[in-house]
Chains A and B, each alone.
Chain A
Amino acid sequence: MSVRSLPATPAGRLQPRAGGERAGDRYGDDPAWRWATLAPSLAIMLALSVLPLLNLFWLSFNNVTWSGGVATWTPVGLTHYKAVFSDALFRAGVWNTTVFALGAVTGQMILGFVMALYCSRIQRGRVLYRALFILPILIPGIVVGAIWKLMLNYDFGLANQALGLVGIEPVDWLGANETALLSVILVDIWHWTPFCFLLFLAGLESMPRDVYEAAHMDGASGWQELLHVTLPMMLPTIMVTFAFRIVLAFKVFDEVYLLTGGGPGTATEVVSFTLYQRFFTEDRVGYGAAMSIIVIFLVSVLLVLALSARRRSETGP
């Protein structure tokens, strides 16, 4: 496995090499082929992401009704935007998604780091553990939902059966207001801790050995080594993993769809689910588009925050 290009150094990956080292500079460039090779990616980017975004933006100022496959657009100005901000479901969604993302990602990072730390210290069995831990990453989100819908079932789920063995009353994991969001967070921790583990392990494996030897010579204890050597050196990887996971957590949909459907009440209502209901279930396309634009705006604010955090960590010690 190559650990040379860890997520720790992703910046500028798409930038051309410095010093005019690009091949084209030496043997002459062929503009026709330059365009032809980029054309497929460019076409997909323009047709399937730029155009849809413009489309959404335009939609958000309109009401759309369909009759016989023909759309009728009626301009409504900013009505949709005003309505979104007073939409109780949307507010619940933003709040729950924030709690969910912070809770799940924090749990994944800590657990993943501990696992990676232990895994990097053993000689044998590392490949086996890694294969085992990759499994949840490859399982469809909807199947993760199905697995845990069975596991957390009130009547026959393994979780309640295990509690019964030690004499604890069964818990209505997915049906009770107090536990529903927590259950969804725990399921997400199960699903994505392995991913954090994988990145952290790759980061730990690529750390130079001599730093540890030096720390050892200076008589550093295990904790001192962790606090003053491992954590500072892993900081870029940690920040990138955090930013990456938080973005994905904000998009959560599949597990919630299957596990709770946003319920009970609005206990597990998340942004993507509200979006889905307004746009598709209720077929309020214009309103859904306005909500999408607001969500995209909120998420880009998040991106800017994450990026500035990373820049700070890069210029740090």
Chain B
Amino acid sequence: MSDPHMVGARTAVPHLVLGVCGLAVVLPVVWAIAAGFRTQISLLVGELWFTPNLASFNEVLFSKTSDFLLNYRNSLIVGLSSTLLCLAAATLGAWSLHRMRWPRWVPALFLAWAMAFNMIPPVALAGAWFTMARTVGLDNTFAGIILAHTALNLPMALFLMSVFVREVPLELEEAARIDGASTPVLLWKVVIPLVTPGLAATGILTFVFSWNEFAVALNLTMKQTATVPVAIAKFAQDFEIQYTQMAASAALSILPALVLLLIGQRYIVKGLTQGAIK
């Protein structure tokens, strides 16, 4: 990555260090994805060069014994639904907490809850959710896992949306009020259009976190509702590990994240750095 115009040691050393780190980040991913294009034998004997073939991808996607497409659909349903729920609840909630006349302890309580909630291991929550879902008959349904993911991501979404809602100029909201806008009109015509970049940042992160979530999905889903991470874990749990299929499904599973990284890098950076303290 050294720049031909600046060959001085001042920039050579940083580029060298960062280049090595970049390689350390990318190499394992590329090598693992490449394993998905190998035959099991080629992988096991450790060939460095191989002829790519799509057998594992075919097996993962279209074999009768594989549910991967179903898992993919499930992950999309869970990810999109919980993201929508989170965004709706968090936008309204953040606006309410910051722009309505609540006693001071109400926002403070939400802040404390959000921090405390983030410290609880998801497995412990999954245990409680599982027992509750079983009691009301929501185990092994999409409703159960969607609600669980909404609850997991809401604290982060509420924090992020609070940052963005507070950036909306108060004068604009007051002007709309003076013009006689009711609360829904004010929210829909003034606040929401102004926080769209915030919605994008929060939405992308919420979706990715839901897509990636494993501990809760493992325990709250069954065969018909299993999400992608649960399916990938199955490959590694089999008596004889299907390495190439595991690699192929892993490659397929990071596609949404790669697309989001390409189109929304600045939103992701914004969301991650602003939401760092959840």
A and B from one complex? yes
By the criterion CB–CB under 8 Å, are A136 and B127 in contact?
no
> How many interface residues does B have (CB within 8 Å)?
121
CB distance from A90 to the nearest CB of B (A): 13
Q: Which residue of A lies closest to B278 (CB)?
A: A244
Number of chain A interface residues as a range: 35 or more
The answer, yes or no, to whether A223 is at the interface (CB within 8 Å) is no
> Which residues of chain A come closer than 8 Å to B119, judged between CB atoms?
247, 250, 296, 299-300, 302-303
> Which residues of chain B come closer than 8 Å to A21, judged between CB atoms?
170
**Chief secondary structure at chain B's binding surface:** helix
Residues 263-317 (chain A) with a chain B CB within 8 angstroms: 271-272, 275-276, 279-280, 285, 288-289, 292, 295-296, 299-300, 302-303
Which of A34, A64, A199 touches B273 (beta carbons < 8 Å)? A199
> Which residues of chain A come closer than 8 Å to B15, judged between CB atoms?
122, 125
| Docked complex Cα distance between A3 and B110 (Å) | 24
| Docked complex Cα distance between A285 and B127 (Å) | 8
By the criterion CB–CB under 8 Å, are B260 and A138 in contact?
yes
The answer, yes or no, to whether B64 is at the interface (CB within 8 Å) is no
Which of B118, B130, B261 touches A138 (beta carbons < 8 Å)? B261
> Which residues of chain B come closer than 8 Å to A135, judged between CB atoms?
25-26, 29, 261
> Which residues of chain A come closer than 8 Å to B11, judged between CB atoms?
121-123
Q: Which residue of B lies closest to A288 (CB)?
A: B127
| Docked complex Cα distance between A280 and B276 (Å) | 31
| Docked complex Cα distance between A125 and B16 (Å) | 12
The answer, yes or no, to whether A150 is at the interface (CB within 8 Å) is yes
| Docked complex Cα distance between A266 and B169 (Å) | 56
Which of B44, B120, B130 touches A296 (beta carbons < 8 Å)? B120
| Docked complex Cα distance between A253 and B246 (Å) | 19
| Docked complex Cα distance between A118 and B21 (Å) | 11
> Which residues of chain A come closer than 8 Å to B6, judged between CB atoms?
123
By the criterion CB–CB under 8 Å, are A253 and B177 in contact?
no
By the criterion CB–CB under 8 Å, are B229 and A41 in contact?
no
Which of B18, B173, B228 touches A140 (beta carbons < 8 Å)? B228
Q: Chain B interface: which of A10-18, A74-82, A212-220?
A: A10-18
Residues 32-68 (chain A) with a chain B CB within 8 angstroms: 33-34, 36-38, 40-42, 44-45, 48-49, 51-53, 55-56, 59, 64, 66
The answer, yes or no, to whether B222 is at the interface (CB within 8 Å) is no
- What are 26 A-B interface contacts by the 8 Å CB criterion? A14-B162, A15-B107, A22-B101, A23-B173, A25-B101, A40-B92, A41-B158, A45-B154, A48-B148, A55-B132, A118-B13, A134-B269, A140-B214, A140-B228, A143-B232, A146-B32, A150-B31, A158-B28, A199-B273, A202-B269, A254-B215, A276-B215, A285-B131, A289-B127, A296-B121, A303-B116
Residues of A within 8 A of B (CB): 1-3, 5-7, 10, 13-17, 21-27, 29-30, 33-34, 36-38, 40-42, 44-45, 48-49, 51-53, 55-56, 59, 64, 66, 69, 71, 111, 114-115, 118-119, 121-125, 127-143, 145-151, 153, 155-156, 158, 161, 190, 194-195, 198-199, 202, 240-241, 244, 247, 250-251, 253-254, 257-258, 271-272, 275-276, 279-280, 285, 288-289, 292, 295-296, 299-300, 302-303
Known pairs A38-B92, A136-B25, A241-B276. 11 more at Cβ < 8 A? A1-B270, A17-B98, A37-B93, A45-B154, A55-B131, A56-B128, A59-B131, A142-B232, A155-B46, A275-B124, A296-B124
Residues of B within 8 A of A (CB): 1, 3, 6, 10-11, 13-15, 17-18, 21-22, 24-29, 31-32, 35, 43-46, 48, 88-90, 92-93, 95-102, 104, 106-108, 110-111, 113, 115-132, 134-135, 137, 147-148, 150-151, 154, 158-159, 162-163, 166, 170, 173-174, 177-178, 183-184, 187, 208, 211-215, 218-219, 228-229, 232-233, 235-236, 241, 243, 246-247, 250, 253-254, 257-258, 260-261, 265-266, 268-270, 272-274, 276-278
